[in-house]
Amino acid sequence: MCTARYTESDVRELAGPRSYERGLGYLDAVGRLRVDADRITATVQGTERYRVALEDGDSLRAACDCPYGEDGHFCKHCVAVALTVLREPGELPALRGEAAARETALDTWLDGLSRDELLALVRKRLAEDADFKDLLSVRAVMAGGDITAVRADITALLDPAEFSQYGYIAYEDAHGYAAQVTRAAEAIRDLATAGQGAAAIAAAREAIRRVTGVYESADDSDGCIADAAAELERAHLDACVAEPPDPDETARWLVDHCLGDGGEYLELEPADYRDVLGAQGLATLRALGEEALARNPSGWAEKYLMESLARAAGDLDELIAIHAADLDPDGYTHLVIAGELEAAERAGEALEWAEGGLRHAATEGEPVHRGLVDYVAERYACDDRTADALTVRRDHFQAERSLLAYRALRAAARADGRWDAERPPALELLRADAEEGRKSRWGGGAVLIDALTDDEDFDAAWIAAPVLATSDQWLRLADASAAARPADALAVYVRDVVARCQYTGDGNYTRIADLLTKARACQEALGTLDDFTAYLAGLRTEQKRKRNLMRILDQRGL
């Protein structure tokens, strides 16, 4: 059976707790789900109908055309689509089968077109799509056999001038530049396929050097330039496979890349080159790596190179020894080692290393890495050691006292049948933090409010909120308890509308419309819809000069 390549934990980590929880409320709003080999698309009906695309390849990536998603965030709509796919695994084979059928139908249709019909389609696309035209132009030059011209075209594709209005590539221009880097990688692959492996290798290395220089002055918050650069590196490897270069020279290039600026910005896995290098090249690579590590024993790039060599040799014990030579105080290195051992089906040793990481962090007086806590607790839970899992979660909560740690403590305590006993002292710790003014790690206010809201202990949350809650916490509490306390929630929504009316911008206007929609639902529940109608009329009169706000309110039927 075909399944998704990601997990619910991946979704939660990418989205963050707030978007994840909100996404749960949109599972019934997902429609037009379409699954291809590595891409999942759907629509989600929110305040408007939004389009979501998930890339389900080596790692999960997502895009949504809602305002929050357009800022590069893994929004609640992305969460809803990702979870819908996970929770309906039986549909994936059928959906991927439908995608394959569509591809077959398209191929059949194209096979039936005449040469003139195909040329008409291509020319129409060339007239509409400058990027497509650039790609075919490079291939046309390549067909003519002018390798110098091909390399010049590849260099031109890597020139950031068009995207550097102020001397750097701004966030909004990063995707455009990344698309050109990807086309350069495709051209390099075409060179290698055409029997020009040496030229392709030289072009790839020059391209990697150029992109490395650009990367220092680019806002690549979405990682699109890094992804495109990875395509360049894969094109280089493909070219090396097509026409293997000198193994010693290749080893020296790999070391220079990994230890220079290239390794800092564009990770490359030397182990992937073991077939290209052969025994001679691997020996040269190891000698150069050992010399570099001797010169700089604490260098992360030097360590990464030696780790890669250990992987290439399949020597897990050497790899563990390299990791163990420099242990992170929070236990993260222990987690990495545990992961390597787990993958090698040495689960007992993996757990021993992970448990050692907990002890190591305690000795160092450092907060334990959250991933290590999760690993140990989940292993204990799988082994029916629920009391031990609870102890790990309790210790972590007492040290971190975040909402995520509270949720994990609650789940572990429920699994062990002890939540009624664990909850009061946990809340007492959070209450003491609130009284001392301690806030969440991200400055989001007292964790006590979020914990009570998450527990659906709304009465206690409303009692504590006037003294402790931030504006975001007020809104989360109102959203969570609107059905039970519509009058209280209404007051929060109206207060936030008043505050937001002081500002402009379509994103702000959309949020005002969201709040008004919620306020209307509260007054419907209270049986006072006439009051809302009067309030809205007054608001529209007061804000009538804000034309975009009026347009958005009209679109929402407000």
Q: What is the pLDDT along the chain (558 residues), one digit of tens a residue?
A: 345 678 888 888 888 877 888 888 888 888 878 877 668 888 888 767 788 988 876 678 888 888 777 767 888 999 999 888 887 765 666 667 777 777 788 888 888 888 888 888 888 887 777 667 766 766 665 665 667 777 787 888 888 888 887 788 888 888 888 888 988 898 888 888 888 888 889 989 998 888 888 888 888 887 788 888 888 888 999 999 999 999 999 999 988 888 877 666 667 778 788 889 888 998 898 898 888 888 888 788 888 888 888 887 778 898 899 888 888 899 999 999 998 898 888 999 999 999 999 999 998 888 899 889 999 999 999 899 999 999 999 999 998 888 889 999 999 999 999 999 999 999 999 999 888 876 655 456 788 999 999 999 999 999 999 988 888 889 989 999 999 999 999 999 999 999 999 888 888 888 899 999 999 999 999 999 999 999 999 999 999 888 889 998 998 888
State the Cα torsion 398-403-406-411 to the nearest 10°. Answer: -150
Buried/exposed code over 65-97 (b: 16+ C-beta within 10 A; e: otherwise): ebbbbeeebbbbbbbbbbbbbbeeeeebeebee
Looking at residue 3, what is its pLDDT? 59
List pLDDT tens digits, range 13-37. 888 877 888 888 888 888 878 877 6
Burial class, 239, CB count within 10 angstroms (exposed 0-12 / middle 13-18 / buried 19+): buried
Which is it for the CA torsion 168, 174, 179, 183, positive or negative? Answer: positive
Closest CA to 463 of 426, 497, 488, 436: 488
Place of tokens 């150069």: 288
Angle at 61 between CA 57 and CA 65, to 5 degrees: 135
Query: Token digits for 335?
Result: 């987690």
